[in-house]
Structure 1
Amino acid sequence: RQSEPGELSEAMDASKKILEGRIQALQTKEEEYLFQVEELEARIKELSKGKLAKLNTVFSPRRSKTAITVSTKSIIITQKISEGGGSSAELYSCLVDGWSVVMKELGTSTMSQASIEAFSREIRLLELMPPHPNIVRYLFHEVKDNYLRLFMTQYDCSLGSYIRAMKESGERIPLKTIYRVLLDVIRGIEYLHSQNIMHRDLKSENIFILYGERKEIQLCAIGDFDTAKQVSNTKTVLGTPSWMAPEVMAASSTEGYSFPCDSL
C-alpha cells in the first residue's frame, strides 16, 4: 500500500533525528581532537622554553645527556608484552606524553632487595651509557615509593620471537639476514666492551629488532641489562645456562668471566 503523508512525515522526522545525533557525535569528537591538539601545542611550547620539570634522578649524580624529558602524569598501557628478565620486572607497551615506548616496571613492595638492586643497576647503566644504534635506547626512568619504571625505545619484537615465527611458517631465514643480525650484535658487543661493560646474558630473547618497510630486519639492538656489569674483570659465573659460553660453564671458582665470554 502507499504510505500516508503522516507516515512519511514521521519517517523523515526519525531520519532527521538520527542524522542530528550523528552530527552531534562528530562535533563532540572534533572538540576532543581540537582539545588534544591544543594540549600538544602547549606541550611543544613548554619543551621549546625548557619549562618541563626534570625527571627524577636517584641512581647517579650524573645525568644522561641524551635523556628525553617528558611528563609521566598520563601513562596509557596498551599491552603487556612479557616478564622482563632476571630482575622479575614486567614489560609493557604504552603511550607516555604522546610517545610510543616500552615500559619495564618493577613493583618494589613485594620484590627482594636483590631484584631491586639488579633493576636499579640496569637503569643506571643505561642512563649513563652514550647511545649506540645496536644498544636498546634509554629514554627516561621514574622512581616512586612502590615501583621503579624504565622507559625505552619501542622495537618490533625480539630476535627469539622472529626465529620462532620463521620456524612455524616453514620459512628459511635468508643468509643476508643472518649476516645482518650477526654484524649488528657484534657491533653492539664491541661497543659494550669499549665501555667496560659485560652483558653476561646474551641470547635471542635479549636482542630486539626493528623491521623495514618490507618486513625485513633493519636493525638489531642488545637489551635487558639486569645482569650486566661495568668492570674490567669479574669472578662471577652468571647467565642463562643454555646460552652461556663454554668457558663460563666450565669455569672454576678461580677463573674469571672475561670479555671473550660475551658471545652468542
Structure 2
Amino acid sequence: MKIYDKLKSKKESAWTKFFDHGGGKVTSVESADEWMVDLSKLFIGLRFAHGAHSQLYHGCYKDESVAVKMIRVPDDIDDGSLGARLEKQFTREVTLLSRLHHQNVIKFKGACRKPPVFCIITEYLSEGSLRAYLHKLEEILPLRKVVSMALDIARGMAFIHSQGVIHRDLKPENILINQDFQLKIADFGIACRDTSCDPLADDSGTYRWMAPEMIKRKSYSRKVDVYSFGLILWEMVAGNIPYEDMTPIQAAFAVVNKNFRPAIPGDCPAAMKALIEQCWSLQPDRRPDFCQVVKVLEQFEASLASDGNLNKLQNLPCQDHKKGILHLIQKIGPVHHNPSPKPKPKFA
C-alpha cells in the first residue's frame, strides 16, 4: 500500500479524534466562508508544538505539506466567556492573515470551524522556528548572517505595519524558517488593527520581548513591535535569551521600573549596538519605523559585502555611530502609512 493510501485510510479516525462532541459550547453559524477548507482533503499528522489552548500539527492538504493550528474550546465554567474570546481570536487571526501576502510572512492556506474546534492552515516551514535554530547553535552567529536574518524579519514587519496591523507578540518562537533559510513572521493570534488595539486586553504579548508601554497597559502603537525586534536583534548578537536569569515577571518589573535592558556584548560593532539601542528606546517616538530599519540594515549588508565590517557605512556624518545611526534614521524620515480600510470579517 502506498504511503498516501495509508494516510488516507486514517483520515476518518483522525477527524473523529479532533471533532468529537466534547468541550465547551461556542455560538457560531456554519457558512460557506471564502476560506473554508475541504476537510475530506485534509490529513492531520504528528503534533510538533502547542500553546495554552492550541496545538500545532504537521498535516497534508491537497497533497501539500501544511501546518494545522487546532484551537479547541475547553469546558468553560465562566458562562462561555473563554469560548467567546477564543472564537474572536480565531476570527481576527484568519481575517488578518488572509490579507497578508508577502515573502516574509507565513502563507495562509485556509481555515475550518467545527465548534468546539477551530483550525487555521498555513504553509509548513520545515526548518522550524528561529528559537529552535538559535538554541541549536554552538557558536555566535556571524555578523553577515545576523544582518541577513534581521532583514527578513524587518521586511516582513515593514509590510505588516504598512497594512495597518500590529503583531504584538514578535519573538523568536513566532518567526519560522523555510528550507531556503528564508525567515517568515507567523502566529497572528493576538495581532490587531492599529486602529482598534485594546491596551487592556488579557491576551497581549510575552513579557521578555514586551515593550514597557504594553506591560503597563498604556496606549501603544506599532512601535511595540520595533521594541520586540530590538530584543530579537540582541538575542542573535548575544546568543542568549533576554533576561534568562530572571522570571518573566521579574524581567517585566525591571524593564518598567528600572528601564533595564540586557547588556550588549563588548565585541558587538558600534553601529549594530546603536541600532539595537534605538529600537528598544524607552520612548516609542524615538524608535525607528521598520522601513527605516530595513534601510539601515541594507547599509549594513552593503558595508559587510564591500569591506567585511561595518566601518564603511554611507551617509554617517560622524564617527560616533550612535549619533550617526540616529542621523541616518532621521534622514530616511518617518514613514506615513495610509491606513487601510478596516476589513469586514469573513467569519462574522
Structure 1 length-normalised TM: 0.65
Choose 1 or 2 for highest CA Rg: 1
Letter in 1 for 2:171: K
Structure 1 residue 243 corresponds to structure 2 residue 209 = yes
In structure 1, distance between residues paired with 2:183 and 2:142: 15
Q: Is the alpha carbon distance of 1:180 and 1:90 closer, same or farther for their aligned partners in structure 2, counting shifts above 3 Å?
A: same
Name the structure 1 match of 2:38: 71
Per-residue deviation, 1:34: 11
Residue in 2 that maps onto 1:177: 145
- 2:155 corresponds, among 187, 191, 209, to 187
Task: Provide the rounded CA distance (Å) in 1 between the counterparts of 2:178 and 2:118.
Answer: 26
Instruction: Please list, as runs of the form range in 1=range in 2, the aligned pairs for 1:1-264 lying within 5 A after superposition.
Output: 29=1, 57-58=32-33, 63=34, 71-84=38-51, 88-108=53-73, 110=75, 112=82, 113-127=84-98, 129-155=99-125, 156-166=127-137, 170-212=138-180, 218-232=181-195, 234-236=197-199, 238-249=204-215, 251=216, 255-263=218-226, 264=229
- AA paired with 1:115? L
Contact 1:235 1:257 in 2 (8 A): no
Runs (4+) off by over 4 Å? 32-36, 55-58
Which amino acid in structure 1 is aligned with residue 116 of structure 2?
N
Extract unaligned runs of 5+ from structure 1.
Answer: 1-28, 37-54, 213-217
Instruction: Evaluate the alpha carbon distance shift between residue 33 and residue 210 of structure 1 in structure 2; reply closer, same or farther with a 3 A threshold.
Output: closer
Q: What's the CA shift for 1:196?
A: 0.7
Amino acid at match of 1:145: P
**Runs of at least 5 residues in structure 2 that lack an aligned partner in the other structure:** 7-29, 77-81, 230-348
How far the C-alpha of 1:57 sits from its partner, in A, is 4.7
Q: Counterpart of 1:262 in 2: which secondary structure? A: helix
Identical columns (%): 27
TM-score (norm 2): 0.50
Distance change (3 Å), C-alpha of 1:233 and 1:262:
farther
The alpha carbon displacement at 1:231 in A equals 2.7
Contact 2:166 2:194 in 1 (8 A): yes
Higher fraction of strand: 1
What amino acid sits opposite 1:259 in the alignment?
A: R
**One-letter amino acid matched to 2:67:** V
